[in-house]
Amino acid sequence: MRKIFVLAALAVLPVLAGASENEAVKDTCYWKFPGSSALKYTQSFYSDNWYKGGFNNQSLLVQLSQDADYAKDRITVDNRLEARLGYYTTKNDAGDTEFKTNDDLLRLTSKFGMQAAKSWYYSAQVQAYTQFMNVFENQVLKSKFFAPVYATAAIGMDYKPVLDDGRLALSVMLAPVAYDCRYVSDETLGSNYGIEPGRKFRQAIGSSAEANWKWNIWKELTWTGKAQFFSDYANNEVNIENTLDYAFTKFLAIQLFFHWRLDDSVEPDSKLGYNQLKEFLTLNLTFSW
C-alpha cells in the first residue's frame, strides 16, 4: 500500500518542480479548495399496535468532502478526500437496541493531467478507499478499517469538455492500462472480497474507465455522479453512484443517493447475483465553502 500513497504524492511533483521560490507565492492563486459537509438525521416512531409492525429507530449520517485543485497553463492536479460515516439503531433477537453502520467510506483520489488538445488531457490517477468501523453480521466480523482496502492506478486520456454554459462539469477518463489491488489486514476476511482464502492481497492489471459529473440542472437542483469500470479480462467491477440534491435554503436540502455495484470476483447472492445496491433519502443540514 505504501506504493499507492507514494504515487499519489508524486502526482503533485511535476507542478512543484517547475516553480521557483519567487513563483511559490504567486502560484497559490492557481489552487482552489472547495469542500462541503452535511449532517443527516432520521427518526421513526411506530405505535405498539401499528398494523404492519415495526420498531422505533433513529439514524445519523455525517458526510465530508474536501478538494484541492490546481490549474495553470496546460497542467491540472485534482485531489479529493471523501469521508462518510453513519449509524442507525435496530433491535436484536433479545429485543435490545443495537447500533449498526449504514454508510462508511474513507476515499482519497488524486489525478494529474497535461493538456493534449482543447478538451483532452494526458492523465494519471491513483485512488484508494477503505472504511472506519468494524461491521458484524450475526456477531461475525464482516469488515473493518483496512479490511478491505481497494486501490487503483491508471494511465490514459481524460476528456473534460465545457457543457451547458459551464453548469455541467464532466470528466471521462479512459485508461487502457490500469492496476487494481485489494488488501485485507485480516486474512480471514479475504474470501469476502475476492481474495484467495488465507491470503491478504490480490492484484490485477487490466483496463478501466471512469466518469465524474456535477450538473447544476437549475439553481436548487444538482445531480452529482460517478461511474467506474475495471476489467482484468477475467473479472469485472462496476460502481455507479448518483446523488440528487434539492436545496430549500442555503443550509437545508433533501438528498437522494443511489449506489449500484457489480463485482463478479466474489460469490453471487442467491437473489441479486453479482449486483449490490444501496439507497438513501435524507433531509440534510449542509455547509459548503
DSSP codes joined into one string, 157-201: EEE--EEGGGTEEEEEEEEEEEEEEEE-SSGGGGGGGTPPTT-SE
Look-up of cell digits 482496502: 149
Please state the length of the chain.
289
Separation of alpha carbons 205 and 177, rounded Å: 7
Q: Please report which helix (H) or strand (E) contains residue 66, including its range.
A: strand 57-72
Q: What is the pLDDT of residues 7-51, one digit of tens each?
A: 344 344 443 444 444 555 555 689 999 999 999 887 777 777 675
pTM comes to 0.82
Residue percentage of the chain with pLDDT more than 90: 69
Cα distances (Å, whole numbers) of residue 41 to 86, 91, 135, 173: 9, 19, 21, 35
pLDDT tens across 106-126, in order?
Answer: 999 999 999 999 999 999 999
- Contacts with 253 (C-beta within 8 Å, 6 or more apart), sequence order: 38, 245, 246, 247, 283, 284, 286
